[in-house]
Amino acid sequence: MRTSTAPAPVRVLVVEDDDTIGRHLETGLRGNGYAPTWSRTGGSALAEASHTAYDVLLLDLGLPDMDGLDVARVLRARFPEQLIVVLTARTDDIDIIAGLDAGADDYLVKPFSMTVLLARLRAHLRRRTISPPVQEPIRLGGLLLDVPARRCTVHDVEVGLRPKEFELLAVLAQHVGEAVSRETLMATVWDENWFGSTKTLDVTMAGLRRRLAEASATASPAPVLPLITTLRGHGYRLEPPPQP
Ligand code: CA
């Protein structure tokens, strides 16, 4: 049941010692309506969890001070209701079984995409009756973006965006009027382990702009659409459309 007050954001404790992965998880979660806190060690995670109740624990197994499975065991014993998702590079079945025995609810093997992680979290949280972040459709001039339904329309006509084009537009639309860095876009739309070329971002951006231009050219009356500004050396900004 929805009320007029927004639900409290889902609190996520990210336990990850890798700087790049931790930062991308934090950015991606915050950009999608979650409230993340990042701990780099098992010890600091246990201390953090002792004074704040978290809805979700995202747990790397290879931590510098202790085995992530021990962190899972301790927190599962203390908080039986907490959702625990283990993030690991270990792919052996025996490790997966050990993780589930230690109290993990789910398992993601690195590298995984932010999109997959978010989908799994939504599914788990729904089952637990914790409300996942609500995303209202975003209206920007003649453009309507319904993120949960994955629908983009211009004057009620659906724009046939490719999956990554849609996700790129969704991230920019959720930060309309703000600069979004290439790194944030890569981490959120692609993968937190994307190290290397960001050419795929340029190709996807070109496709997105082309499809929006085509939709704009065929719609009648001519719609006012938000423009995507390129910020040289940084990233992109979706401009709020002028008020009619
Ligand atoms: Ca690690």
Number of folded domains in the chain?
Answer: 2
Q: Are residues 22 and 116 in the same domain?
A: yes
Tokens found for residue 202: 């340029």
- pLDDT per residue, tens digit, the chain (244 aa), is 444 455 678 999 999 999 989 999 999 999 899 999 999 999 999 999 888 889 999 999 889 999 888 898 888 878 877 899 998 877 766 677 777 777 888 888 888 888 889 989 988 888 776 666 666 789 999 999 998 788 999 988 999 999 889 989 998 998 889 888 888 788 778 765 555 567 889 999 999 999 999 999 988 888 889 999 999 989 999 999 877 6
Q: Are residues 171 and 117 in the same domain?
A: no
Q: 16 alpha carbon to ligand 1 midpoint, in Å? A: 6
CATH code, 32: 3.40.50.2300
Q: Are residues 15 and 41 in the same domain?
A: yes
Domain around 145: 138-239
Q: 87 alpha carbon to ligand 1 midpoint, in Å? A: 9
Q: Are residues 16 and 91 in the same domain?
A: yes
Q: 182 alpha carbon to ligand 1 midpoint, in Å? A: 25
Q: 84 alpha carbon to ligand 1 midpoint, in Å? A: 16
CATH code, 230: 1.10.10.10
**Number of neighbours of residue 151 by Cβ within 10 angstroms:** 14
Q: 59 alpha carbon to ligand 1 midpoint, in Å? A: 9
Q: Are residues 98 and 185 in the same domain?
A: no
pTM of the model: 0.56
Q: Are residues 36 and 90 in the same domain?
A: yes
Single-letter amino acid, residue 68: G
Task: Name the phi and psi angles at 37, rounded to 5.
Answer: -125, 140
For the chain, the farthest-separated pair of C-alpha atoms sits apart, in whole angstroms, at 62
